[in-house]
Chains A and B, each alone.
Chain A
């Protein structure tokens, strides 16, 4: 195992991100339409309205966890379905298709128990969107754990999203970039595993940052 201060062969480059948002011209006025559209929209749209929620809502942690639950609560005013959609943790699903299936199943199961389909009466329709991520390399690349800590503390919050959410879900780097670099470049498998286990659902990017920093601090302190 490497000692603290040892230089990694591959530097860690903090990468922030910006969304280019696109409207899909697909809408839902009621919960059945929501279910139908969920089945047919591109997976990028499922990603945008679930994982992407955390990038857009970074200053404020809200009660819903994804755009579908928020719309059902605010515009359809169906608290029961909102609760059931809010509890769907997008980070638990191995693929976006599996996540889509779960969301459709939740709405379908809910509608089976109702006589009428709840509509957004007096509210607004749901507008499906998707986004393309533009990556931005930020700050000085880190080659030691201490430099990694310093970079992480000051980098824009979108970098936390990129390395912990985008990398895992859309780019297929399942461990997340922080854990992967710490494991492969600094040979810190225990720290990597602890960071990999951080629950990024229903919290803010700043809290995720604070949690990663505290784990890194413990490691730095342990190594003196």
Chain B
């Protein structure tokens, strides 16, 4: 388990000292996080490094999980999808069951704390059972700025029982009668996905994936969905290939929805006719493989057309890579145009910028270095910890 001192080697100078000073002011306060699971992206990925670090600096931090029966999980998943804008049918009976299950969850968890942070949709209605005392925050990790109307009217009534909401970006929220705080997500630089790797280790992992390093690598890592636009990346690669002998790696996990299978099938068809297009379906815990692919890349693409925060950009920048991203979600918050990479509107724009970087390796190197420094200051878990401590002071002092 990592200790805060371990992060001195990677965090920006002074960052750990600020954390220790902030923590002195709220030492011993109880901070309870509630989420729907311990594994996966979003809340679990953020909380795994944060909870031990909060405890290491003297905060009484706990992380509890809510659960229920299959109807509970299905209803909360449908509600979250509807809040993200999907068309879902939500019946009152199922919603009532979801709320009842969270009332039962409330009885099993010690909810007394100075600050309670409830993550995303699954445990959100537990606020109805909040005991007296303590400040309650709803922490949203997704974009609910354009929800299905009925879902929002149900959910808004719950969210307004909190003392505040926390969004990764201002644009992910909607009008609410409570304060809306902004805390961006982060990456853990000492995790398997982001730790340093020797070139030999990178090569070994890439060999196991069947990815040769004899040509510049264009890499996109992400879900095989239309939103991530891997087919757009293939088209951009084809424009680049006319001028540069490059190889394209599309790696990620396929969801269990039919769209993912369709996209994956289309990509595999494209790859059948071009041995330089490598499609690699990875398991959800392929952290080392993702680390190695990002480190081996010449240019990383994140050409989504719809996106959440899109932390993959920060992940690639941490490995010193220039990133070409789409104009979606939090991508433009991470890419400083012409400094750490380029945000583009089109396939042609992506191809043009890839060619620009391949023709100007000095610019690519400069952007990679700038991106790493930006991540060091703004997207590491140390900054995330700082934000939580500042918020704890703000809410409880």
Give chain B interface residues in 42-92, CB to chain A under 8 Å.
none
Given the known inter-chain contacts A23-B180, A25-B173, A125-B171, please indicate yes or no for A132 contacting B394, CB distance below 8 A: yes
- New A-B pairs, 11, CB < 8 Å, besides A16-B21, A27-B171: A20-B181, A23-B170, A59-B12, A59-B373, A122-B345, A124-B171, A129-B170, A136-B22, A138-B17, A138-B21, A156-B15
Q: Which residues of A contact B13 (CB under 8 A)?
A: 154, 156
**B7 part of interface (Cβ distance < 8 Å):** no
Count how many pairs of residues, one from A and one from B, have CB atoms less than 8 Å apart in the complex. Answer: 92
Q: Is the interface of A mostly helix, strand, loop or mixed?
A: strand
- Interface residues contributed by chain A, number (CB under 8 Å): 34
Given the known inter-chain contacts A18-B22, A22-B182, please indicate yes or no for A134 contacting B336, CB distance below 8 A: no
**A79 part of interface (Cβ distance < 8 Å):** no
B379-393 to A contact mask, C-beta < 8 Å, 1/0: 000000011011101
Q: Which residues of A contact B4 (CB under 8 A)?
A: none
Distance in angstroms between the alpha carbons of A134 and B15 in the assembled complex: 14
Q: Which single residue of chain A is at the shortest CB-CB distance from B395?
A: A20
Q: Which residues of A contact B339 (CB under 8 A)?
A: 60, 62
Residue pairs across A and B with Cβ atoms less than 8 A apart, 7 shown, are A16-B14, A18-B389, A20-B394, A22-B179, A132-B394, A134-B22, A134-B394
A187-198 to B contact mask, C-beta < 8 Å, 1/0: 000000000000
Q: Which residues of A contact B389 (CB under 8 A)?
A: 18
Min CB distance B70 to A, Å, is 36
Of the residues A18, A25, A154, contact of B180 by C-beta under 8 Å: A25
Min CB distance B370 to A, Å, is 6
**A157 part of interface (Cβ distance < 8 Å):** yes
A124 and B374: CB pair below 8 A? no
A138 and B376: CB pair below 8 A? no
Min CB distance A138 to B, Å, is 6
B182 and A59: CB pair below 8 A? no
Q: Which residues of B contact A27 (CB under 8 A)?
A: 171
B308-352 to A contact mask, C-beta < 8 Å, 1/0: 000000000000000000010000100011011001010000000
Q: Which residues of B contact A129 (CB under 8 A)?
A: 170, 182
Instruction: Please report B residues at the A interface, Cβ cutoff 8 Å.
Output: 12-15, 17-18, 21-22, 167, 169-171, 173, 175-176, 179-183, 327, 332, 336-337, 339-340, 343, 345, 370, 373-374, 376-378, 386-387, 389-391, 393-394
Given the known inter-chain contacts A23-B170, A138-B21, A156-B14, please indicate yes or no for A122 contacting B394, CB distance below 8 A: no
Distance in angstroms between the alpha carbons of A155 and B17 in the assembled complex: 9
Q: Which residues of B contact A16 (CB under 8 A)?
A: 14, 18, 21
Given the known inter-chain contacts A60-B370, A74-B337, A125-B171, please indicate yes or no for A19 contacting B390, CB distance below 8 A: yes
Q: Which single residue of chain B is at the shortest CB-CB distance from A128?
A: B170
A23 and B373: CB pair below 8 A? no
The 3 closest A-B pairs by CB, nearest first: A156-B14, A127-B170, A23-B170
Q: Which single residue of chain A is at the shortest CB-CB distance from B377?
A: A59
Min CB distance A16 to B, Å, is 5
B18 and A123: CB pair below 8 A? no
Distance in angstroms between the alpha carbons of A137 and B387 in the assembled complex: 17
**A82 part of interface (Cβ distance < 8 Å):** no
B170 and A60: CB pair below 8 A? no
Q: Which residues of A contact B170 (CB under 8 A)?
A: 23-24, 127-129
Min CB distance A22 to B, Å, is 6
**A21 part of interface (Cβ distance < 8 Å):** yes
Distance in angstroms between the alpha carbons of A74 and B332 in the assembled complex: 9
B167 and A138: CB pair below 8 A? no
Min CB distance A76 to B, Å, is 13
**A169 part of interface (Cβ distance < 8 Å):** no
